[in-house]
């Protein structure tokens, strides 16, 4: 088949240049501009990567206009309904759903890597009791590279797999330890007889004083939330992991960088920001005044949990979390919860307001997840840490894909320089 080309022409009479147009399996074609600088001495300018594909990937696909999310080709709705988190983790990592034996083996390996080095627990006491959990997570996850030297040879496939298992298995333990440290309660060792999610909830809410009894509705809800957060294509934190990974940094350092990037309120930190916003609004009667402030961009007011760079339609994950949220509130007998009523009314008003309609602003994954956590009594500052736990699967799969990609190079963008042109040094006594 004849190669498709895109031609770039210039208004100043410079010769036009051709670039190959590459097609994926679905989604928009991309113009391969790698030779642009060599051919023209010019760069592209794309702050925020509005029109730039940074890599080839076969993990996650999003159609933001249709509100479609696929992990390895499977619709998120089917995975959230029919799989458990580790099944989805296996899929994201390996490209196919596991058969029974593969699932058993994978669950077993993850389960047997869930303890952290005992010395790691002493890291926590270096943090203030009230340190933000994401600050603790960045530090402790980064510190893993100091404990697991034997798996940081990134050019060895077996080492990469071991690091992947370690990260996926230890993140629930580290996240729960972060919570326990904040609460001033003893750390709980993982229990191998429990499932991944039950074990996480046990390490969060169990204490040595009494038997922890898992609640299947709550476990399923959290498991589903983990599935919905597991990967999301080349978002800010994943791109951070890839950029760090492109330098050859070890996987623990890369995931720690991803956690730092996720922390921001425009990204994973939005679930925390939603709850703060709902608290600030306080009552349904205050919604119109809040929406007015948002529309007037008064003091940078935003409707947190709304809007997305890629989704210009309902985020499919938000629909699924909304359903999960109702199941949890029903189970906990909190149906008349003031917060959920406030959130639903806020959503209703926003979705019928011209400002949000015109800008295609819909609820995203974070709009409802915080309400589930709140109902479970999880402190607001922990929300993004739980997001990080889930997203570790996506980050590590994307990192592995990057390392195995023969086209990968160190990530090194260029710039449009707008600073001073060359000038001569002036001795301090002669400066104005």
Residues forming the site for ligand ACO (CB under 6 A): 266-268, 270, 294, 302-309, 359, 361, 364-366
Q: Which among 138, 139, 164, 142 has a CA at the least distance from the CA of 151?
A: 164
Among 188, 96, 190, 167, smallest CA distance to 388 is for 167
Closest contact distance (angstroms) between CB of 34 and ligand ACO is 25
Query: CB-wise, 27 or 186, nearer to ligand ACO?
Result: 27
Contacts by 409-418, CB closer than 8 A, 24 or more apart:
409/246, 410/246, 410/247, 411/54, 411/242, 411/243, 411/246, 411/247, 414/37, 414/43, 415/43, 416/43, 416/45
The Cα–Cα gap between 120 and 136 comes to 12
3-state secondary structure of 417: coil
What is the DSSP code (8-state) at residue 421?
Answer: P
Beta carbon of residue 264, minimum distance to ligand ACO (angstroms, whole number)? 9
DSSP 207: B
Q: How far is the CB of 201 from ligand ACO (least distance, A)?
A: 22
Shortest separation between residue 364's beta carbon and ligand ACO, angstroms:
4
Min CB(139)–ligand ACO separation in Å:
22
**Residue (248 or 413) nearer to ligand ACO, CB:** 413
Query: 67 vs 305, which CB is nearer to ligand ACO?
Result: 305
For ligand ACO, give the closer residue by CB, 147 or 355: 355
Map residue 217 onto helix, strand or coil.
helix
**Identified catalytic residue from 223, 366, 405, 424:** 366
User: CA-CA distance, 42 to 30, in Å (whole number)?
Assistant: 19
Quick one: 41 or 48, whose CB is closer to ligand ACO? 48
Q: Encoding tokens for residue 4?
A: 């498709």
Least gap, CB of 375 to ligand ACO (angstroms): 20
Query: Residue with structure tokens 């994943």?
Result: 238
Nearer to ligand ACO, 243 or 403 (CB): 243
To the nearest whole angstrom, how small is the minimum distance from the Cβ of residue 366 to ligand ACO? 5
Choice among 132, 229, 232, 308 that is catalytic: 308
The HSE-up count of residue 432 (CA atoms within 13 Å, CB side) is 0
Residue among 231 and 366 whose Cβ is closer to ligand ACO: 366
Residue nearest to ligand ACO (CB): 307
Nearest to 179 by CA among 205, 209, 208: 205
Residue 48 carries which DSSP code? G
CB 270 to ligand ACO: min, Å: 3
Indicate the residue among 123 and 383 with the shorter CB distance to ligand ACO.
383
Written as one string, the DSSP assignment of 303-333 is -TTB--SS-SS--HHHHHHHHHHHHHHHHTT
Is 308 a catalytic site residue? yes
Please report, for residues 46, 194, 285, 307, 420, the alpha-carbon distance to residue 302 in angstroms, rounded to integers and kept in the order given: 24, 41, 18, 10, 36
The three-class DSSP label of residue 30 is strand
**Pairing, β 17-22 against β 5-8:** antiparallel
Least distance between ligand ACO and beta carbon 94 (Å): 24
Question: Alpha helix (H) ranges present in 41-111?
Answer: 76-82, 85-94, 100-111
Q: How far is C-alpha 271 from the geometric centre of its chain's CA atoms?
A: 11
Of 163 and 322, CB closest to ligand ACO: 322
Tell me, yes or no, if 149 is annotated catalytic. Answer: no
**Cβ atoms 198, 221 nearer than 8 A:** no
Cβ count near 155 (within 10 Å): 8
Question: Which residues are identified as catalytic?
Answer: 308, 366
């Amino acid at each position: 088949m004849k190669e498709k080309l895109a031609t770039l022409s210039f208004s100043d009479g410079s010769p036009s240049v051709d670039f190959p147009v590459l097609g994926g399996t679905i989604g928009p074609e991309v113009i391969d501009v790698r030779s642009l600088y060599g051919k023209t001495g010019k760069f592209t300018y794309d702050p925020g990567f509005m029109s730039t594909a940074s890599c080839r990937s076969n993990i996650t696909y999003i159609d933001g206009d249709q509100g479609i999310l696929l992990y390895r080709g499977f619709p998120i709705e089917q995975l959230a309904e029919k799989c458990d988190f580790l099944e989805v983790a296996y899929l994201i990592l390996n490209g196919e759903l596991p058969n029974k034996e593969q699932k058993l083996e994978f669950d077993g390996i993850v389960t047997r890597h869930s303890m952290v080095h005992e010395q790691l627990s002493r890291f926590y006491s270096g943090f203030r009791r009230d340190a933000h959990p994401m600050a603790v997570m960045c530090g402790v996850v980064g510190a893993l590279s100091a404990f697991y030297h034997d798996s940081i040879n990134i050019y060895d496939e077996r080492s990469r797999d071991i690091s992947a298992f370690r990260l996926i298995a230890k993140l629930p333990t580290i996240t729960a330890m972060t919570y326990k440290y904040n609460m001033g309660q003893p750390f709980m060792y993982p229990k191998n007889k429990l499932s991944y999610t039950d074990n996480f909830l046990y390490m969060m809410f169990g204490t040595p004083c009494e038997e922890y009894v898992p609640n299947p509705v709550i476990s399923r809800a959290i498991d589903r939330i983990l599935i919905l957060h597991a990967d999301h294509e080349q978002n800010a934190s994943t791109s951070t992991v890839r950029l760090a990974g492109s330098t050859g940094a070890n996987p623990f350092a890369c995931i720690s960088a991803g956690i730092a990037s996720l922390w921001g309120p425009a990204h994973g930190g939005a679930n925390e920001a939603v709850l703060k916003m709902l608290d600030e609004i306080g009552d349904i009667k205050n919604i119109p005044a809040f929406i007015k402030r948002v529309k007037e961009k008064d003091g940078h007011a935003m409707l947190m949990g709304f809007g997305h760079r890629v989704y210009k339609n309902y985020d499919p994950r938000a629909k699924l979390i909304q359903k999960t949220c109702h199941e949890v509130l029903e189970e906990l007998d909190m149906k008349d919860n003031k917060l959920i009523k406030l959130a639903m009314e806020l959503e209703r008003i926003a979705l019928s307001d011209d400002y949000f309609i015109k800008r295609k602003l819909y609820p995203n994954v974070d709009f409802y997840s915080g309400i589930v956590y709140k109902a479970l009594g999880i402190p607001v500052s922990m929300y993004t840490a739980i997001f990080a736990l889930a997203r570790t699967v996506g980050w590590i799969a994307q990192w592995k894909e990057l390392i195995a990609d023969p086209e990968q190079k160190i990530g090194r963008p260029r710039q449009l320089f707008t600073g001073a042109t060359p000038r001569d040094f002036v001795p301090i006594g002669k400066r104005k």
